[in-house]
Amino acid sequence: MDKINLAEKLKLFEEYWNPKIIGECNDAHLKLAKLKGIFDWHHHENEDELFFVIKGHLTIHFRDRSLQLDPGELVVIPKGTEHCPEAPQEVHVLLIEPKGTLNTGNVVTDKTRPSLERI
């Protein structure tokens, strides 16, 4: 067990839309991701997903509305809820979701990352 400094971990990678596992807590993985551009519409059948914005401004589109999250803000997307994250400029997020959660949920696209690196 050691402490995790989010800023230092974020220096260790550059790729967008490729979350890195930085730890675990009970049945969940803690992940960091850098986002830029628009992702793919998807939902997670059995997993709630937490997004916490560290840097930048993240828009999450839902079928009936959109939310904008600024640094220091978080949202929990309930299981089954279709969503599509969009980052017009670079965004850094902490994600917390059950181990095994696939980044593109119920769909497979060119952004699907079935195996995530630990940093």
In the complex, which residues of this chain contact a copy of itself (CB under 8 A)? Answer: 1-7, 23-28, 30, 47-50, 54, 67, 69-70, 72-78, 81, 96-98
Closest approach of a copy of itself to the CB of residue 34, in Å: 16
Which DSSP letter does residue 107 get? -
Closest approach of a copy of itself to the CB of residue 33, in Å: 16
Beta bridge partners of 3: none
Q: Which is nearer to a copy of itself, 90 or 109 (CB)?
A: 90
Closest approach of a copy of itself to the CB of residue 2, in Å: 7
**Structural contact between residues 57 and 79, judged by C-beta atoms closer than 8 angstroms:** no
- Residue 2: count other Cβ atoms within 10 Å of its Cβ: 5
State the Cα–Cα distance between residues 66 and 88, nearest whole angstrom. Answer: 14
State the Cα–Cα distance between residues 96 and 93, nearest whole angstrom. Answer: 10
Q: Which is nearer to a copy of itself, 9 or 109 (CB)?
A: 9
Among the listed residues 90, 118, 101, 2, the one whose alpha carbon sits nearest the alpha carbon of residue 42: 101
Closest approach of a copy of itself to the CB of residue 40, in Å: 20
Q: Which is nearer to a copy of itself, 26 or 115 (CB)?
A: 26
